[in-house]
Structure 1
């Protein structure tokens, strides 16, 4: 079952949730793809000011596109997703993902499915990491159809379980991680 905030978001913006099953399920991780991913991740992280849904909307969970420049974790990821689709990425490779963060709190990230493994775009850092290097507990993510979500079974990962860094795969250094005070 999808996250309730996702269901409400898709009712309000169905065009953002439609997945074309004829699109590729993965993108090749080329230097050009890496460049677009890092640019959009950093640009969106810098553009949106962090605020909780309670403070912003008066509700526990509201998913949106941060049109007023404010949002929490899922809003950052939805904006990144929209911009990546505009840049030519198939929506099918961009999966909204629910995790438990390093502090034990619910958190949303954007998973990008590549031929070199799944990468995580996060508003907590500008560095794009392989999912195994985030230290998050993975609960569920958007499925390949968009309307359903799949359980990830609470998979726990940490930097100690990681494989080769992405920077070796694309032959470019990763940006340094950056935490935004007060961000989710």
Structure 2
């Protein structure tokens, strides 16, 4: 049965946003890309999505349905949207207790807003909550990366005009993709979130 913490997350986001003070919150400065070449992740050829993503779409059909109103490119990150993004990222990170998957592929399951979960659950929960708040699917891209220890890891990339931003359960900070120490493997395609593509190397 699907478990949800939707109301809890929503309440936490409301409290966080309500307490934002732009005059003294230096960390809420909207990020800017240091160089145009580093702004967005380069997508390569189409590739198969993770098997667990296919299983996720069978369980959560609404999360994966094709939204035919695809228009425009990256979203404009206003101060209000930046505040909402930071609050949502922190709320989900706090609402889900970390529970590493020790069974490998056999124990892999992506769940929206569980009580406990791993990186996959954090990423799909953040995407779900942002979709519920009206963010377009074309800018909410699940991305598979490899950590410095060689582990495969799932994060949510938010495609903003100033650059691709990484929402990660391993850190409370939202950072530009070019400033995280990950190897990029594959990512959802903005034109159709059911499709995935390989990702290019960071620009030098």
Give the TM-score, by structure 1 length: 0.78
In structure 1, what is the equivalent of residue 74 of structure 2?
A: 26
Task: Give, in whole Å, the separation in 1 of the partners of 2:144 and 2:53.
Answer: 11
Q: May I ask how many residue pairs the two structures share in their alignment?
A: 155
Question: Offset at 1:13?
Answer: 0.9
Structure 1 residues 79-117: Cα deviation after superposition (integer angstroms, max 9, x where no partner): 111111111111221000000012221000000011111
In structure 1, what is the equivalent of residue 126 of structure 2?
A: 80
Whether 1:59 aligns to 2:106 is yes
Task: Give, in whole Å, the separation in 2 of the partners of 1:25 and 1:17.
Answer: 19
* Aligned partners of 1:121 and 1:128 also within 8 Å: yes
SS of the aligned residue for 2:157 comes to strand
SS of the aligned residue for 1:139 comes to strand
In structure 1, what is the equivalent of residue 54 of structure 2?
A: 7
SS of the aligned residue for 1:148 comes to strand
Correspondence for 2:171 among 102, 125, 130: 125
* Structure with the larger RCO, 1 or 2 (CA within 8 Å, 6+ apart): 2
* Aligned partners of 1:111 and 1:119 also within 8 Å: yes
Structure 1 residues 34-66: Cα deviation after superposition (integer angstroms, max 9, x where no partner): 1011000001001101112346x9934211114
SS of the aligned residue for 1:78 comes to helix
5+ unaligned residues in a row in structure 1: which ranges? 162-184
Compute the RMSD of aligned alpha carbons. Answer: 1.9
In structure 2, what is the equivalent of residue 143 of structure 1?
A: 189
5+ unaligned residues in a row in structure 2: which ranges? 1-47
- Cα separation, partners in 2 of 1:116 and 1:49, compared to 1, 3 Å: same
- Runs of at least 4 residues of structure 1 off by over 6 A? none
Q: How does 1:28-47 map to 2 (within 5 A)?
A: 28-47=76-95
Task: Give, in whole Å, the separation in 2 of the partners of 1:156 and 1:51.
Answer: 31
* Aligned partners of 1:19 and 1:91 also within 8 Å: no
Give the TM-score, by structure 2 length: 0.71
* Aligned partners of 1:135 and 1:156 also within 8 Å: no
Task: Give, in whole Å, the separation in 2 of the partners of 1:14 and 1:131.
Answer: 28
Q: Which has the larger radius of gyration?
A: 2
